[in-house]
Structure 1
């Protein structure tokens, strides 16, 4: 019996029925959303949607349909298998009729639309965690049957933003309708992964079969997927290791380059300090030399002060000491003649005078302390120079 029309959001309802809180539901929804962007041929080649084999009882025949990648395709009709009493349970009646790829697909019993009772109910958002258990308490109020008299399931149709509730659909089938069809399948009943109900758009996407009666099918792509996942993990680990090795090599090269530049910088710093020391030493010598009279000035001053009967054998300037060695007829008067000058101070005889029989003069040794250099005479201003040149030009 079909007491409620088909929902316009049937496809959304089928997707919503698969959404469950937690990492598993989210990853499943996320994987399906990503797979929907791929071309159908790629999805079929990658085995992203294995599909399922739908069995529908039609009198003495069994209609087979393949649902895969959102498409529903008729495979044909086969006679109903013999009952379980006269058949060997270990033999699959459909195995000789189907190829291995389709025979290994999960098998679902598809019931006609008239067999299902559908009710829309509004539940709190927290009920989505355990929707099947929650709607089990609503069967007595929403249907004329008890929970033990029906096989039921529920799917989420949508969420209301206004009050935060979810809109769910309860699908129930009386057991007096379901059990004869399961019995008609014979040994195929034990191979079912679920029971679904059809509507005008196709299967609803619910599973009326009790969890304890569902057969678990092993995905043949699981070993390949695990192998690919292992290869991907190894490749990612190798890539990360290579990136780390590259970063380490780059860091070592950078450290070597910095060390080489540091050595060059240290050498440059040492050379710069040496140059500074040389410049400072030269500046000190220049200042010290500027504070003392030059040799020419000392000789000129001596030439003007020494008498004519005096000549020098040796003139020595050692640091700040001036030493004169020579012969003179007025050696005793030399100290008085060499005083009162800014070029040296404290002239004195070093030792006694020694007569020289050959020249008739006295040999003397005289020492003095060099003083500071006399200040240079300022240059005449340009105006005074022009004034001096004026009369000369006029005289000419």
Structure 2
């Protein structure tokens, strides 16, 4: 599987996981709550929740105390969007080749200690959507801050029963928020968990399909062999019963001969399958007659003389010859042929 297919499959899995988590979140909560930092450590509740809760005045999250009752009631059980002030973050531009767009997560993580004072494990970070730049390149801005600086804020919201916490920052007033962290309480299902579950389900389904296909082939082949063996035993039993009943009677002997001929003769469907494998694609069979171990074939072909050689080379036919002249009519797309050949028993038709 090529790299592009793997990337598309991974993106599809992420999209489905995000959609499932989003749908579950919409079913399990009322509205989300947005807290915007207006000055260091002070937040206001944005939107209609501020007026409903009487929380228009700034509130503090990092002093270890409890929040006002109205604010706490709005936070409990909900998703909280925490929009931090730009002063908490470092913003660094990053210029990359356009081909790096599919691998931004790993690239930014690897270069974070070069761009900022923190290692990736000690920081929370995100980046703006990449913008096209000259020379087949892309430009983006990385926003990062120390993880320890926002830990008290997460603890305060966790104490108040927030369901999930999304931390973001705006690089400027006109820009969309850049998500730097998504914090879920223990027991909550996140995108990574859903992604692993989806992969497990898909792998299990693929293995089940392969197992079912193998089982069908094995069991089908065994059933075909059992049926053929049963047919042979039934035919032999019929011949024995006729012999026991009729003795030397001529009619009984004729019936026995017919039974034996039917038993020994090659099945028509196998002969037709062997012919279809031996004859080229430009050859069309219009009639076929089987008499004992002899088959007569009539049809059209662009190269009728070559058919004799092809039938002789087949492991299922021998002594192939034309039993009537080969002709060509003006309206025919090829030569009309009449070929007779001997059938080699048993017919062998390989997949």
TM over 0.5: no
Name the larger-Rg structure: 1
TM-score (norm 1): 0.36
TM-score (norm 2): 0.39
